[in-house]
A and B are shown apart, each in its own frame.
Chain A
Amino acid sequence: MENHIKINGAREHNLKNIDVEIPHGKHTVISGVSGSGKSTLAYDIIYAAGQKRLLDCLSEQVKMFSSQLKQPDINYIKGLTPVVSLKQYKPRKNPRATIGTLSELSTYLRYLYSLIGHGSCPYCNKKFPVRSLSYLIKELQKLPEMTIVELQFPVYKNKSKKYDQFFAQLRARGYKKIEIDGERKDLRDWIQIDQDPESIMVVASKIQIKEEFNRSDIKAVQKSIEEGHGFIRIVIPDLEERRKCESFFQKHGCPEHGIFVADILPSFFSFNDLNSACDECNGTGITKTAYPTMVVKDKKKSLKDGALFPDFCNKRQAFKYLRMYSLAKHYGFSFEKPFDALPDYAKDLIFYGTKKETFPLLRPDDYTKELPRYIAQLGEQVEFEGIINQINREYQESKGRELKNWEKDFYDRFMVNERCQSCHGTRLKPQRQYIHINDYSYYQLGNMELKDLKNFIEDIEIPVEKEEALLPVIDEVRSRLNSLVEIGLDYISLNRRADTLSGGEYQRVRMAGQIDSDLMGLTYIIDEPTVGLHGTDNEKVINLLEKMCAQGNTVITIEHDLDIIKRADYLIEMGPAAGVNGGQIISSGTVEEVIKNDKSVIATFLNSEDNSIDDKKFSFEKNNSIRIVCAKENNLKNIDVSIPLNSLVCLTGISGSGKSSLGIEILYKALWSKLHDPRVIPGKHKHIEGLEKIKDVYCIDQSSVGNSPRSTPATYIGIFDRIRDIFAATDDAIKYNLDHKSYYSFNSKGGCPSCKGMGYLDSHIHYLGDLQTTCPECKGNQYSEEVLEVFYKGKNIKQVLELDFAEALSFFEDNEYIHHKISYVCDLGLGYMKLGQPTNTISGGEAHRLCLAKEIGKVRGTKNMLYIMDEPTTGLHSKDIKRLIKAIRSLIRNGNSVLVIEHNTDVIKDADYIIDMGPGAGKHGGEVVVAGTLHDIIACPESKTGQYIITT
């Protein structure tokens, strides 16, 4: 076998016919400025070739697709092993994916609960063992013969369901008797419930004890256990007989309440299992609720002029309009005054209705639209249930059927997600909370931070008789937990939703999963594994990468972090610059070899001993700041934080210390809610002082650019419309009758009809997921043939989209608007990016800079904006970071404020004011360790950030 992956003559994208050798079984870092060709080498050459060759080895059906995969432009590649890519991207929004499901730890923990969980009585918390059905039956058969045993099971009602519906459903299932708090009721009678009872038991059947149960008896016990979701109540009505059975109750269940637990299966704890998921929220843990603020469109307007969204009151819908008018007249509030001037009782009527009271339907003098014939007419009594009540009711009624898109949009617009009131966020049916291991329910275990969970697992005592079944499960849990903890994710919990993880955290969870798979002989391509990690945690990633190599794998990382680069076995430096000026290997070899290479750019940074700290002066002015009071979101410990304005403020701290909770969840959402969308509910805090000083807020994070393959940087920064106008006005366009700009959009008339303007076709291969192949009709050009016949300055629309921003700058030099916008993109070092690159292929760092370029291009003269940036240095070479800081400074010079959540020391050193969160992660974090200038941070021995800066 080859000792290296040998690539000869790579010419893909900007690569200059390069030859590369990457050692097997080692950790190789590909470094270089943005746009130098790092990703092309890693993904478009190594990954693409690896994927195509792997598919070629599979079945004929798969080959059909692989033959359409684009062959990388190279002479040859040798010594390739199967390639796995661990890119950074935010997981899709999906409330069902959690850290538990993602890491598969939930699966193993479910086994653990089914194997060694013990039951506890829902009414007195008495603990008892979980039995199997067959064991319980054997024990029942040992009771005195002829004893009459009544079988019952507990049931739980949803918050949203009414008792009469609930009882009717039980009756429809064939049950006739229930016990409510011990009192026997017949479902054939009316049952009045004034107050939620503590227990409702269904009387299922009776059996008579005999030496050997017949099938009917067994079935009766089994059915009761099934209906009770593992819980059964055994009642012996005759007191004398009951006394004789005391030891049975003592040994297997709760002697006081007669509760027993049997046949608990792993699927009992899966919220993705329909039988186990909470009936109310179907296992998502959230339900939707309408909020009054959301239905108000403009509180400065009157009801008459459109204070409410048109869905609830508008002049075109006569009945709704007249009813609102009549409501105002009948209850004596104004239909013409601004909504926010209305008294509270009026708002209450509008939102929550007349509570069964009726009022006459009236018509204002200036309104002439007729009422439809089939509804109430003028003078008739009508009722109003209130907008909020109506939305909530209709939403409840729509459950159980598929919603149309407009309905989903409607509910999304006017409702917010809230914790499910029935399961309180556990996502499971209530019975699951009564199965414990060491006093922890499955849900409680999922809320533990991983490092505590690790200790919990270590403390579990395994019964000897279950060792054989349990040890492999425990080993698997232990190993997966170790990987996650070792990679610095010890502060997260299994119940955390995967879509709340950052791109970096998500990548690390996947990396931990790869370690646990114990596969060897693979080539891993990992994109910036240190993103989102505090410098002090870099060591953890390095250890993990070394572990992957030690398992016999080849690891290739694209990385800018000097800590990682210094520890690499092999370094490939791409450059010297971006785009057409890049694509060469300027140095390669061990770190020592690269450092000695005169051509290397990174060598300067690797050699740098410069640890000087600018003696920056900054005076905190109370009048020019905002103050978050009593921040309590997630792990924040009721803290007050002041943030100076018109300056660069850096929020630092290790992962999980509470930076995002403070910066995004509280500050950004509070501002967004106040200024734009009241549906956004900010994280827990008391109030924010000085919010009025901020005119608008803009959050720039990895998702800002969007994730659509149909969007491009040209559309994002707003130049594509102009480019299409230019094409529509050309002589060719007029000649071919293609003189409307819609022909030059691949999403509209101009798109290839076969692939609908995508340039590729999606095929789904069962075990390999989605596979993209070039569209055979347009050959990847995205446009229909006739559109490509239209030329401007010798290029058709596709060729223009293929231009990078640097080329486009000169191509459009005579168009001031386009030229101006493009120049900002180039200034931020994105000159190599293509105008038509799908935005879903743009890295997080590129997205940040594109956003920034758009904002700088837009905000000339705009003041008092607050920009919140989440790790803007992601994907940036040390050289590019300087450009970024320059761009940020230009925003501040224009009178704006910038709050950056960052780990990068270059940015931290440049910040005017630093707020260091911590000291630890999760429950050990959530406090401000120190806030002040860089000197203050360094002077604070408790600040991990300060200490890290001193050592780097």
Chain B
Amino acid sequence: MENKELREQFKKALDSTIEKFQDEKKCLAGFLIGSMSHDLIWEWSDLEILLIFDESYQGSSSYHLLEHNVHVALNIRTINEFKEYLASTNVADYWFCALSKSTLLFCKDITLEEDFEDIFYYGEKDREIEMLLGFSNAVYYLNKAEKNFRVKKNSENAIYFIPQIAEGIAWLEVARNRSIPEREIIAQARKINPDIFKRIYDLLFYEEVTAELIDQILKDCYQYLKENTEEVYRPIISYLNEHGTLKDFSLKTREHGFGINYNWLYRVGIADRYIEPIKINNQKEEFYQIGYRLNK
């Protein structure tokens, strides 16, 4: 339970800090971010404030103040920096998540307010791409876990990969729900689809972890992914339906470690593989790359 007095103390610190900046003509907006905005606070919490100044601002980008004996972490951006950030950010960014749970304290620029609100629009394309990326993450770790468990007989490593599969699945669930992913994403996703996490994640903490349990979890992960393939891979399957192959297909995603896993479609029997000649860099030799087409 949160200490009421502590919150009161934090509130005073917030008010007195904001009061000092709100009247400053060049300070255009202020955001409260962090625990104070969306969670409970405790004695070691700090008060995080983001201030937006006009372009004439020449000071440092961060300050650590003490107000009413509260550690105030002050972040300052110029309006252009902030607008550029708003233009380029995506759901995988820490600040994006923090801003999504922030509280707008004041704003003197109506266009900035509109821009800020607009970044949280979750378009259908972005939603499907994020689902694919989460899914691809899960498939990557599922492959690792399965290899360790079934081939190398190394259960310890297999267990290591299971939470990472769960995280990929959680990302998928959150994206499907058009929610902004949070730091504790499995907890966030569990609220959306508790059943799957009960089967693939919670058991690791509440049950005795045996080879049978690991086997079952991995089977459940595979089953879950297989069942969701058609929905998650909709953009790719629909392209294959229309064009036959993925030769001219491109899907630009945000920077992502693993990209999209096309081979999964082959693994679950939705697509067939064939080869097509390619040139690599400017080598004279011709190589053959994998192509995919739908199984008829």
- B is a partner of A: yes
A residues near B251, Cβ cutoff 8 Å: 164
Q: Does A374 contact B (CB under 8 A)?
A: yes
- Cβ of A383 and Cβ of B276 under 8 Å apart? yes
Q: A356-B244, A385-B247 are in contact. Are A403 and B274 (CB under 8 A)?
A: no
Q: Does B8 contact A (CB under 8 A)?
A: no
Residue picked from B111, B124, B251, B276, most chain A C-beta under 10 Å: B111
Q: Does B230 contact A (CB under 8 A)?
A: no
Taking a contact as CB atoms closer than 8 A, the residue among B56, B115, B277, B281 that contacts A206 in the complex is B115
Q: Does B267 contact A (CB under 8 A)?
A: no
CB-CB nearest in chain B for A357: B244
CB-CB nearest in chain A for B82: A216
Q: Output the least CB separation between A852 and chain B (Å).
A: 41
- Cβ of B248 and Cβ of A162 under 8 Å apart? yes
- Cβ of B111 and Cβ of A208 under 8 Å apart? yes
Alpha-carbon distance A176/B122, docked complex (angstroms): 11
Alpha-carbon distance A385/B276, docked complex (angstroms): 9
Taking a contact as CB atoms closer than 8 A, the residue among B110, B125, B245, B281 that contacts A188 in the complex is B125
Q: Output the least CB separation between B269 and chain A (Å).
A: 16
| Contact code string A145-181 (vs B, CB < 8 Å = 1, else 0) | 0001000000000000010110011011011100000
Q: Does A404 contact B (CB under 8 A)?
A: yes
- Cβ of B54 and Cβ of A383 under 8 Å apart? no
A residues near B54, Cβ cutoff 8 Å: 214-216
Q: Does B153 contact A (CB under 8 A)?
A: no
A residues near B110, Cβ cutoff 8 Å: 148, 208
CB-CB nearest in chain A for B291: A383
Stretch at the interface among B41-49, B83-91, B139-147, B187-195: B83-91
- Cβ of A189 and Cβ of B124 under 8 Å apart? yes
- Cβ of B83 and Cβ of A216 under 8 Å apart? yes
B residues near A187, Cβ cutoff 8 Å: 123, 125
CB-CB nearest in chain B for A403: B282
- Cβ of A176 and Cβ of B84 under 8 Å apart? no
Alpha-carbon distance A162/B118, docked complex (angstroms): 27
| Contact code string A401-421 (vs B, CB < 8 Å = 1, else 0) | 111101100000000000000
Taking a contact as CB atoms closer than 8 A, the residue among A208, A319, A385, A394 that contacts B279 in the complex is A394
- Cβ of B111 and Cβ of A382 under 8 Å apart? no
Alpha-carbon distance A404/B80, docked complex (angstroms): 43
B residues near A207, Cβ cutoff 8 Å: 111
A residues near B248, Cβ cutoff 8 Å: 162
B residues near A406, Cβ cutoff 8 Å: 284
Alpha-carbon distance A214/B108, docked complex (angstroms): 13
A residues near B55, Cβ cutoff 8 Å: 214-216, 219
B residues near A172, Cβ cutoff 8 Å: 252
- Cβ of A188 and Cβ of B123 under 8 Å apart? yes
Q: Does A367 contact B (CB under 8 A)?
A: no
Q: Does A939 contact B (CB under 8 A)?
A: no
- Cβ of B288 and Cβ of A374 under 8 Å apart? yes
Q: Does A94 contact B (CB under 8 A)?
A: no
Alpha-carbon distance A214/B79, docked complex (angstroms): 10
| Contact code string A364-394 (vs B, CB < 8 Å = 1, else 0) | 0000000000111000111101000010001
A residues near B284, Cβ cutoff 8 Å: 404, 406
Alpha-carbon distance A176/B119, docked complex (angstroms): 9
Q: Does B114 contact A (CB under 8 A)?
A: yes
- Cβ of B121 and Cβ of A407 under 8 Å apart? no
Q: A172-B252, A208-B109, A358-B293 are in contact. Are A186 and B281 (CB under 8 A)?
A: no
Number of B residues with CB within 8 Å of any CB on chain A: 44
Q: Does B1 contact A (CB under 8 A)?
A: no
B residues near A191, Cβ cutoff 8 Å: 125
Q: Does A190 contact B (CB under 8 A)?
A: yes
Tell me the residues in window 70-123 of chain B with beta carbons closer than 8 Å to chain A beta carbons: 78-80, 83-84, 87-88, 109-111, 114-115, 118, 121-123
Q: A189-B124, A383-B291 are in contact. Are A205 and B282 (CB under 8 A)?
A: no
Q: Does B198 contact A (CB under 8 A)?
A: no
Q: A375-B288, A394-B279 are in contact. Are A356 and B125 (CB under 8 A)?
A: no
Alpha-carbon distance A567/B129, docked complex (angstroms): 80
| Contact code string A183-211 (vs B, CB < 8 Å = 1, else 0) | 00011111100000000000001111000
A residues near B121, Cβ cutoff 8 Å: 176, 186, 188
CB-CB nearest in chain B for A377: B275
- Cβ of B123 and Cβ of A175 under 8 Å apart? no
- Cβ of A188 and Cβ of B80 under 8 Å apart? no
CB-CB nearest in chain B for A355: B244
Q: Output the least CB separation between A193 and chain B (Å).
A: 14
- Cβ of B245 and Cβ of A356 under 8 Å apart? yes
Q: A188-B121, A214-B54 are in contact. Are A380 and B274 (CB under 8 A)?
A: yes
Q: Does B215 contact A (CB under 8 A)?
A: no
Q: Output the least CB separation between B277 and chain A (Å).
A: 8
Taking a contact as CB atoms closer than 8 A, the residue among A168, A189, A319, A357 that contacts B252 in the complex is A168
- Cβ of B250 and Cβ of A216 under 8 Å apart? no
Alpha-carbon distance A398/B88, docked complex (angstroms): 29
B residues near A215, Cβ cutoff 8 Å: 54-56, 80
Q: Does B152 contact A (CB under 8 A)?
A: no
- Cβ of B274 and Cβ of A174 under 8 Å apart? no
- Cβ of B88 and Cβ of A174 under 8 Å apart? yes
Alpha-carbon distance A748/B144, docked complex (angstroms): 60
Alpha-carbon distance A190/B284, docked complex (angstroms): 38
- Cβ of A382 and Cβ of B274 under 8 Å apart? yes
Q: A148-B110, A208-B111, A375-B275 are in contact. Are A190 and B124 (CB under 8 A)?
A: yes
Q: Add 20 more A-B contacts to A164-B252, A205-B115 (CB < 8 A).
A: A148-B110, A162-B248, A176-B121, A187-B125, A188-B122, A188-B123, A189-B123, A190-B125, A205-B83, A206-B111, A208-B109, A208-B111, A214-B54, A214-B56, A216-B80, A375-B288, A381-B272, A398-B279, A401-B281, A404-B282
14 contacts between A and B (CB under 8 A): A164-B250, A176-B87, A176-B121, A188-B124, A205-B115, A208-B110, A215-B56, A357-B244, A375-B275, A385-B276, A394-B279, A402-B282, A403-B282, A404-B282
Which residues in B have some Cβ–Cβ distance to A below 8 Å?
54-56, 78-80, 83-84, 87-88, 109-111, 114-115, 118, 121-126, 128, 235, 243-245, 247-248, 250-252, 272, 274-277, 279, 281-282, 284, 288, 291, 293
The 10 A-B pairs at the shortest CB distance, nearest first, are namely A188-B123, A356-B244, A174-B87, A215-B55, A168-B252, A206-B111, A189-B123, A188-B126, A216-B79, A404-B282
